[in-house]
């Protein structure tokens, strides 16, 4: 008979965070109305390094990479001003 082994809550939470990353900007600015992602925001810049990286111009930390698929925060502005 197979026995299920469960990890502790912290381990599960850490793994969940890797699978479902959340936008750190949501803590300070809340979520934008609607179902927009950072990839549609005018404040997201693309930079070519060894690999393509994305930076949110509104984040304090220049070093922090950003993700296209993050839920848009309250500072969201549609690319092209629409
Ligand atoms: S300002 Fe734009 S790119 Fe930056 S976190 Fe908010 S929605 Fe995303």
Q: How do residues 12-45 score in pLDDT, each as one tens digit?
A: 455 554 555 799 999 999 999 999 999 999 999 9
Using the atom order of ligand 1, give the atom closest to the CA of residue 42. 2
**Residue 60's closest CA among 15, 29, 37?**
29
Q: Which of 44, 47, 64 to mutate to test the pocket of ligand 1 (most atoms within 8 A of CB)?
A: 44
Q: Taking the model in full, what pTM does it have? A: 0.74
Q: What is the pLDDT of residue 57?
A: 95
State the distance from the centre of ligand 1 to the C-alpha of 16, rounded, in angstroms. 22
The beta strand positions in 14-71, using DSSP E, are: 44-48, 52-56
> Does 26 sit in the ligand 1 pocket, CB within 6 Å?
no
State the distance from the centre of ligand 1 to the C-alpha of 41, rounded, in angstroms. 6
């Amino acid at each position: 008979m197979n026995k299920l082994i469960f990890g502790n809550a912290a381990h599960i939470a850490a793994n969940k965070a890797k699978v479902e990353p959340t936008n750190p900007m949501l803590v300070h600015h809340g979520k934008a109305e609607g179902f927009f992602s950072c990839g549609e925001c005018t404040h997201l810049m693309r930079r070519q390094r060894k690999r393509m990286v994305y930076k949110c111009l509104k984040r304090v930390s220049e070093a922090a990479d950003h993700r296209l698929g993050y839920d848009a925060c309250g500072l969201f502005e549609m690319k092209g001003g629409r």
